[in-house]
Each structure stands twice: as structure tokens, then as C-alpha cells.
Structure 1
Amino acid sequence: MSLYTAREIMDIIPHRYPFLLIDTIEELEPGVRALGKKCVSVNEPYFQGHFPGNPVMPGVLILEALAQVGAVAFLSLPEWKGRTAYFAGIDRAKFRKKVIPGDELLLETTIIRVKGPMGVGRAVASVGGRKVAEAELTFAVG
């Protein structure tokens, strides 16, 4: 059973359809880490153009999904409740495998550094136990 459903995730972060890219939060240590899940469906709007006849989830959207999981982890702390975490940087991004319809994308982001309202998360996306993407994501809470 999931810790948070999409409805509960929307109580923490401001993202909504079609830009809420996580379905559930499976594990959460507020301010430390979160593990989310995205069930990739052929009905995702971006598959209409990326790529017709060969649907592949855009890498930037995998990074966005990882950032949303990190935002849930950080904004779950009482002092940041009701705030928004904004992207401030992406470092060391690597894409290792395509993500396609039918994949269950696991998204784990661990907060590794915080200074005031700024922080960095180490993020890893996997499918079937295989790493598909990773990056360090910098955020600023506004």
C-alpha cells in the first residue's frame, strides 16, 4: 500500500495534470528522502510527439518527476509546508535506458545538502531494478 496517493501528493506540491508526474509516494523520510512511483501509460500526452510509432518518455520529464519526489521529501517538513520548490540546477545527469509505455518508474531522491532555502538532491530513476537515469538536482524554496 502506498504512503501517499496522487491526491495527497497534490496537498504537498502544486503540480497538477498534465504536469504531476508521480502517481504515489511509497516511502518518505521528511527532509531526507522519498521514493515515488510513476506508472508510464501509452496515454501520456507527450507520447503524441515523442516519438510517433516509437514512444519514449522524455529524459527531461524523468528529471522533473525526480524533482517532484524530492520536493515532496523536502516540503514535508513543517517549516516548508505550503511553499514551492523551484528547479535551480541540474548536474551530472545521465540517461542509461529508454522509459516506454508499460514501465513502472521508481523515483528516489535523497536530499544531500541544504543551506537555508537552497538544497541539492541525489536522484535515481529505475525500471525493474535497472537504473534508467540519475542526476544531482538543485532546488530553491520560494
Structure 2
Amino acid sequence: MSSTFAIPASHAASTLQETLFVSGSDLFALGHYPGNPVYPGALMLERMLAMAGALVSGTLGQPARATAVKRVQYLGVVVPGDVVTLEASVLEQSANKVACQAVASVGGDPRVRATIECGLDSGIAPSPVLSNPATAVKDTNTPALAHQEIARLLPHRYPFVLLDTVQTYSPGAHMLATKVINRESPILGRKPPDTYPAALAIESFGQAGVALYFLSQMDNAPAHALVGAMRDVTLLREIPYDTILTLDVRIERMMANAVVFGGDLRIGAEAVIRIGSLVVMIAPMQAGS
């Protein structure tokens, strides 16, 4: 990874670059559209969040981290064999936050573009302190869908089925789902980060939305579903391990080729991430695909 100091002229500007080499033998290929693997947008976003935090920390000379994702556009897929160039640069700076642009490109062709806001660590609320996090949101009722039933709905397989239960749902409208947060997932690598990655939590929210979409279809026609964009995602608190995340998902709008979701991710009654809008693109399944 390299860094330079260029743009914009109005303040101390900087840029970070990284290179990602994507292989079909990587772990994601097991479960993210198996048989036709696509590098997960959640993992790309997590890299961008980390780069933005590192960039702003260096620019300000103080520890900083991402506090909001103002916009993400998934412009094209990243597949095995791709060499991805990731670049993060400062857009503008105010007294208490810095806006960055992050772009992931393959051969000069942008595949993901994001605008990320960062703030100083001292200005970010600490992780929730729960007296008994393992039972903070556990519903005593039988869930509407268990893990194996969820896996039959989604185009994902282990280890990228990031939902554990669907507690309740109303077709075409709303879902409450849960994800147990621990350090056991191989996605986290040999040395899990200190707190659970926000982008993986957002992936769980997206999967809950896709499950709700499929449960809302009367004809049960198979379809491809990929996240296309996100707006106004607020990272309110870090997510501790050994707790249960509740995914409160609403369908805001349904179209012929897309569905728009909004909602919150909570620990107990406390929101940790707020989703302004998450757009999932829908395409009919082609014969033989």
C-alpha cells in the first residue's frame, strides 16, 4: 500500500492506494453465488471503510474511523482473475469530519464507487454495554424461518449466508431477522478485528431484504438479486462480539427490476447502523443459469 499527498489544494489532501488480487480459490467463492462467484460487495466496502479511516487518520494526525456511507454505487461485478485497484482520496474537510471518495477499478473501469465520511474516534459513541448481550434481543417465540430455510431462499451458501433466523415478516412490507455476532466466521480471518465489521452487518441487512423480496413474490419465479447502490448509511456505534444483531428491514419501493429497502440494525433497542436506502437489482433467471 502506498500514499501520496496531492488534492485538493484548499487543505492537506492525500490519497491511498491498494491492490486486490481476486482468485477463484478464495474463500468467498464457496458461498457468494457458488458456481458463478462474484467478489462480495460487502468485503469491498469494508476495505474502503478501512482505507478511508487510515487516510483521514494520516491527514488529521489523529485516530479516525468511518462514521457514515453517504453513497455507494456497484457499477459492475468483480470476478476471479480480476486485479482491482482501490483508491481513496479526500474530498472535503470540516471542523469535525472529513469526506472521502473511494473507487475500486479493474483495468481502469470503475466497479465500485463510494463517498464515505470519517470522524475522530473520540467523537464516536462507544460500543453498547449490555449486561447479558447473548439474550438482549432473543425472542422466545418460534422464528418464522430457521437458518436452513433461509439458505433455501438466498443465492448464497456457507460461509456467506449471514442470517440466522427470520423472527417475523409481512410480505411486501417488513421483516425482523437476526444474526448472531461472534468471532467464529472464517470470513473474519485468523485474527478477527476488535469489533465486528460494519460492512458484514450491512450484508446481513441486504440478505434479509432479498429474503423478504422472495417471500413477497406470488409467482415464485427464480431471479438474480444483486445490491446496486446504497445511500445515507449511518454507522452509529461499533458492533461488539457475542451479541445478537436485529435487522429491521422495510420495503420502501418495489419496481419491475429493483426493490428499495430501508431500516435499522439494532442491539437490543439501540440502533447501531441506520440504512437510508439500499437498492437491490432484480433480473429474471436465464435458462441454464
Matched, 1:97 2:245: no
Residues 1:38 and 1:80: Cα distance change in structure 2 (over 3 Å): same
Q: Secondary structure at the match of 1:123?
A: strand
CA deviation profile, 1:2-48 (whole Å, cap 9, x unmatched): 11011101121111111111000001111211111011122122163
Preserved CA contact (<8 Å) 1:110 1:122 = yes
Aligned to 2:225: 85
Query: Partner amino acid for 2:273?
Result: A
Matched, 1:133 2:254: no
Q: Out of 71, 74, 87, which is 2:213 matched to?
A: 74
Q: Out of 186, 196, 211, which is 1:57 matched to?
A: 196
Following TM superposition, by how much is the alpha carbon of 1:50 offset from its aligned partner in structure 2, in angstroms?
A: 4.2
Runs of 4+, deviation exceeding 4 Å: none
Q: Out of 152, 155, 159, which is 1:18 matched to?
A: 159
Query: Partner amino acid for 2:247?
Result: L
RMSD: 1.5
Query: Partner amino acid for 1:42?
Result: R
Aligned to 2:248: 108
Aligned to 1:41: 182
d(CA) in 1 for partners of 2:189, 2:273: 19
Unpaired segments ≥5 residues, structure 1? none
d(CA) in 1 for partners of 2:224, 2:178: 21
Preserved CA contact (<8 Å) 2:183 2:192 = no
d(CA) in 2 for partners of 1:81, 1:93: 31
Unpaired segments ≥5 residues, structure 2? 1-141, 284-289
Query: Partner amino acid for 1:48?
Result: R
Residues 1:93 and 1:119: Cα distance change in structure 2 (over 3 Å): same
d(CA) in 2 for partners of 1:82, 1:47: 33
Aligned residues: 139
Q: Out of 145, 152, 166, which is 1:4 matched to?
A: 145
Residues 1:39 and 1:115: Cα distance change in structure 2 (over 3 Å): same
Q: Secondary structure at the match of 2:206?
A: helix
Preserved CA contact (<8 Å) 2:248 2:263 = yes
Following TM superposition, by how much is the alpha carbon of 1:59 offset from its aligned partner in structure 2, in angstroms?
A: 1.1
Larger radius of gyration, structure 1 or 2? 2
Instruction: Give percent identity, aligned residues only.
Output: 22
CA deviation profile, 1:120-141 (whole Å, cap 9, x unmatched): 1003100021000011100111
Answer 1 or 2: higher relative contact order, Cα 8 Å, separation at least 6. 1
